[in-house]
Amino acid sequence: MTVFFLSLRLLACTPAAEPAAPAVCEDGPTLFGRPEAATGLSDAECGPTCTCGDAPWTAPTYDAADVDALLTWELSEPWVEPTVDPYLDPPVAAGGVCGVVDEGGGRYHLATYADAAAASAAGATLTHTDACGVCSTLADLAVYMGVNDLTAPVRQCGLDHLGGDAEAHLGCLQELGFTRPCAWIWYWNTLHTQDACLAECLAALDAPYNEPDGALNPCLQCDEDESGPVFKAVAGRTRRNTGLPNAICRPCGEVVAIEHRY
């Protein structure tokens, strides 16, 4: 069987013998993302390039082969499904970074380290900043990498199963490619946002993701404020801490420059 070996190259301003910490990007005149019709911004206002460290950094465009390569990996220690609503007892977000540890034979496990240097010293490869969570798997990375606009299909799952059966809602999310543990936190996030942001989201149902000034629309901003912290603590991986632009444009200062090569 062909084994695909993961090589995530961290970007630094100057070459270094040891792996450097991922370059933190700085806010600039444009936002970070890959605009679509639903975004509401042009390519001149939002794009995959930020200034990170002392140099411009452009997130790569990943193709179907890159996504398929991720799906060849097998997680040796699957996550326990978060079947209890984490918003009832919000977890405390942990710092550090999440690393992939290659066990050979196409198997891997995930581990949280203090920083990128500690991950490298342990033989792990950085997959995102912040602690590992239920969406840190390479299978979930494949979804984040392969679908530029996750907002629309995730929202549709919520609308189609509003007040309905949890299993049907989870199945809808899993059809997008999410692992079941990751689908659970998207499910809980959706339910919490429906409760906390109902008025804002009904009013913005057909609104672009970004306002003309680049701000998030009221629904997405409410979701960010009310549901975002718990989601990030449980999920671990986000597009921003993974260096992946998407249809929602964000300030470059929220982005970490990480490239994924296979």
Q: Which of 260, 259, 257 has the alpha carbon at shortest distance from 55?
A: 257
The answer to whether 86 and 188 are in contact (CB under 8 A) is yes
Name which of 234, 243, 241, 249 is nearest 261 in CA terms: 243
Q: pLDDT tens digits for the chain (262 residues)? A: 333 333 333 333 333 334 457 878 999 999 999 999 999 999 999 999 999 988 999 999 999 999 999 999 999 999 999 999 999 999 988 899 999 999 999 999 999 999 999 999 999 999 999 999 999 999 999 999 999 999 999 999 999 999 889 999 999 999 999 999 999 999 999 999 999 999 999 999 999 999 999 999 999 999 999 999 999 999 999 999 999 999 999 999 999 999 887 4
Amino acid found at 191: L
Using only C-alpha atoms, the chain has a radius of gyration, in whole angstroms, of 18
Q: What is the pLDDT of residue 243?
A: 96
The stretches of 22-179 forming alpha helices (DSSP H) are 64-70, 116-121, 138-146, 151-160, 166-175
pLDDT of residue 20: 56
- Let me know: does 34 contact 48? Beta carbons within 8 Å: yes
Determine how many CB atoms are found less than 10 A away from the CB of residue 68: 13
Contact 224, 216 (CB under 8 A): yes
- CA dihedral for 233, 79, 178, 124, sign (positive or negative): positive
State the DSSP code for 214: S
Position 7 scores a pLDDT of 37
**pLDDT on residue 94:** 85
CA 166, distance to chain mean position in Å, is: 23
Nearest CA to 186 out of 129, 243, 147, 128 is that of: 147
